[in-house]
Amino acid sequence: MVVSLSNSAAAAIIASDNASNSAYADGWQAGDNGGTGFGPWSFDFSGSGSGLLHDPQFIDNAPLVENSLGAPAFALTTGAEPLAFETSEVRRTFNLPIAIGQTFSADVDGSALDPLAPPFTIGNTFDFFGANGSERFSLLTNNEFHSGNWTATGDADTGILAGSSFRIEFTLATVNTYNLVLSPIAGGPPLFTQTGATLAGTPGVGINRIRISAYGTGSSIDGSKEMFFDNLTISGPESLLGDYNNDDVVDAADYVAWRKTNGTPAGYNAWRSNFGATINAAGDSVTTVPESTTWPTLLVAFVSTINLRNRRVMYFGSDAAR
């Protein structure tokens, strides 16, 4: 028997968090996990901490004068010792990798870069990583690089000064390309756009974590040297559980993708439970559930085909080699 289940796959909030959530009422600590759809925060700080006026990672509840995002907001600060390379960094995983058509957005207010700092020693980063740890996208600033402007993956000079504020909207267009829009916080025409830009890192690997950092920028009373961000959101069509190659259908090919990029028992169960699920042209998620004996039969046939081909290549050489 085949049962069809349908649910809307229209734009939805997949994950969200902001500094006003109750998890941060007592401050911001490693392991905190406000909002939904994200894993807990992890922290890292390198350096002596000399000259710090705030904790390396803190919630700005004032707000500080140069925090154009308002309060509360997440904030990073470092010491300003020349060539000390102090870094304040936070990282976070996504409960599910960003799916094709989904958009990650956040409000950002970067650190002003000291023009007297040694070249290439200070800046901010806003990076996305794949499940295998490869960096797939970066938005960054660095003194002496593109005049300190924010720079996107592929060495794209956005023309936006390091200390400026903006809203980032990163949309996964295909498994290996993205669209990027940087806009004023208050709204208005985009400040910078990229369409169909190529992701860095390992092709085909899904994006499932973020890293945000400030390095060597210093610490200030007015917030000019701090990096602020808030309103982290992933939105768009709901993704299919078990669709590990992001082609809007859960099939045998996702089993291969699971083995290469996931490999966890939970991931396998998600694939098994949703085998046959698709997203149709109308934007609905339609799950076709085979009889209990169907999907194991399909998997055995698929794996047998792969094994047979591997043996053929082993004994006779690849088709390309003949």
pLDDT band (50, 70, 90) for residue 297: low
> For position 265, what pLDDT does the model report?
80
Burial of 299 by CB count in 10 Å (0-12 exposed, 13-18 middle, 19+ buried)?
middle
Mean pLDDT of 141-162: 96
The pTM score is 0.77
Given a cut of 90, whether residue 278 has pLDDT beyond it is: no
Task: Write out pLDDT tens, residues 213-235.
Answer: 999 999 999 999 999 999 999 99
* Percentage with pLDDT > 90 across the chain: 62
**Helix axes 294-316 and 252-261, enclosed angle (nearest 10):** 70
Q: Of residues 48 and 77, which shows the higher confidence score? A: 77
Start-to-end CA distance of the chain, whole Å, equals 45
Burial of 51 by CB count in 10 Å (0-12 exposed, 13-18 middle, 19+ buried)?
middle
pLDDT band (50, 70, 90) for residue 288: low
Q: Could you tell me the fold of the domain covering 11-237?
A: Jelly Rolls (2.60.120)
Given a cut of 70, whether residue 148 has pLDDT beyond it is: yes
At 15, list the tokens. Answer: 């994950």
Given a cut of 50, whether residue 151 has pLDDT beyond it is: yes
Contact between 254 and 272 under an 8 Å Cβ cutoff? The reply is no
Mean pLDDT of 184-190: 96
CA distance 166 to 142: 17
CA distance 150 to 34: 28
Name the average pLDDT for the chain: 85
> For position 301, what pLDDT does the model report?
53
Nearest 5°: the CA angle 173, 93, 140 is 65
Task: Write out pLDDT tens, residues 260-276.
Answer: 776 778 778 878 878 88
Q: Of residues 171 and 280, which shows the higher confidence score? A: 171
Mean pLDDT of 141-146: 93
> For position 3, what pLDDT does the model report?
34
Handedness of CA 46, 49, 50, 54 (dihedral sign): positive
Which residue ranges does the chain devote to CATH 2.60.120.200?
11-237
pLDDT band (50, 70, 90) for residue 207: very high
Which residue, among 94, 115, 112, has the nearest Cα to 103 in the 3D structure?
A: 94
**Hey, which bits of the chain come out as E strands?**
3-8, 11-17, 42-46, 57-60, 73-76, 87-93, 103-109, 123-130, 135-140, 151-152, 156-157, 165-174, 177-183, 192-198, 207-215, 227-237, 277-279, 284-289
